[in-house]
Amino acid sequence: MTSVLSRPHLLSMQQLTNEQIFHLFQLADQMKNNLYLPVERQTFAANVFLEPSTRTKMSFQVAETRLGLETMNLDGESSSFTKGESLYDTLKTLESIGVEVAVVRQSEVGLLDQCKDLNLSLINAGDGCGEHPTQSLLDLYTIHEHFQHFEGLHVAIAGDLKHSRVARSNAHALRKLGAEVSFVTKPEWQDPTLTDRYITMDEAVHECDVLMLLRIQHERHTDSGEELGYLENYGLTKEREAMMHPNAIILHPAPVNRGVEIDSDLVESPKSRIFRQMTNGVTIRMAIIEALLKGEL
Ligand code: CP
């Protein structure tokens, strides 16, 4: 069953051209400098979060409010998901009552593809180990804010690659934008879909312009004892940070496991852009919603 009309969605980084990515950066710059006019008609946005979230959910709420949208929240525990209602029927319900934008986090890779014909704009806020395009866009925006370009940059992505939707979204987009991508991980966390160069953390800190750290996704696998020796073997210690290029930056989508993938003192160090990423998350999410409502994506 489909609607007569459907609206644009943001489901994957693979759908965006480089021109669309830079258009979103321009919009985000306007949002950052308050050079935008909030929408004048009443527009409803629903945040449907069926997996835990702090940053994505809260920053979408701030972004929607700053854009002048009416914002609503739905979770898995206090909604009719508990009665077995499907994601499609839930989103169809939101469409039927006039919601125009739905931000969805849930655990099944690609499930939102089955809802693409609905007449409301869907934003993938993380689908299991699949993709996290709004996180990727805020990461790219933060890199561009610092370097003003992507060509020739070396971005090392380090951590639990196999279970990371952020790594997947970023690796694809960074390659397309002209950056070199390499990976640091345990052999058992290598991902056959991520075929770029695998290097050690010691090589990464000497070579990279951007070190993108990832947390261990304990909720997606049952390996035990994986934090033992992780910082020394695969993480960013103070000794390794001292080897980085003077102009290099550290990113992390967060939440951060301080003392596991990064020494706690480095989380707020001069090279770290971890909290800047969160600030940029609001402006880039405002830009994404605005572009979807205007039919620009
Ligand atoms: N980076 C990120 O997606 O954080 P949350 O899970 O807190 O939303």
Fold adopted by 13-128+280-293: Rossmann fold (3.40.50)
Q: What is the pLDDT of residue 195?
A: 81
Question: Binding site for carbamoyl phosphate, residues?
Answer: 55-56, 105, 132, 135, 254-255
**Residues of the chain with confidence (pLDDT) below 50:** 1-4
Complex ipTM more than 0.95, yes or no: yes
**Residues having CB within 6 Å of any atom of ligand 1:** 53-57, 126, 135, 253-255
Spell out the domain ranges in the chain: 13-128+280-293, 134-278
Mutation to probe ligand 1, out of 54, 166, 216 (largest number of atoms < 8 A from CB):
54
- 111 exposure class (CB count in 10 Å sphere: 0-12, 13-18, 19+): middle
Q: Where are the alpha helices (DSSP H) in 97-219?
A: 133-147, 165-176, 201-207
Q: What is the pLDDT of residue 2?
A: 43
Q: What is the pLDDT of residue 246?
A: 98
Cα distances from 60 to residues 116, 148, 293, in angstroms, run: 20, 25, 15
Mutation to probe ligand 1, out of 47, 49, 50, 56 (largest number of atoms < 8 A from CB):
56
| Percentage of the residues of the chain whose pLDDT score is greater than 70 | 95
Mutation to probe ligand 1, out of 47, 53, 132, 274 (largest number of atoms < 8 A from CB):
53
CATH code assigned to 134-278: 3.40.50.1370
Q: What is the pLDDT of residue 235?
A: 96
13-128+280-293 and 134-278: same fold? yes
Distance CA 208, CA 96 (A): 49
Q: Write the residue with the smallest CA distance to atom 4 of ligand 1.
A: 55
Distance from the alpha carbon of residue 140 to the mean position of ligand 1, in angstroms: 16
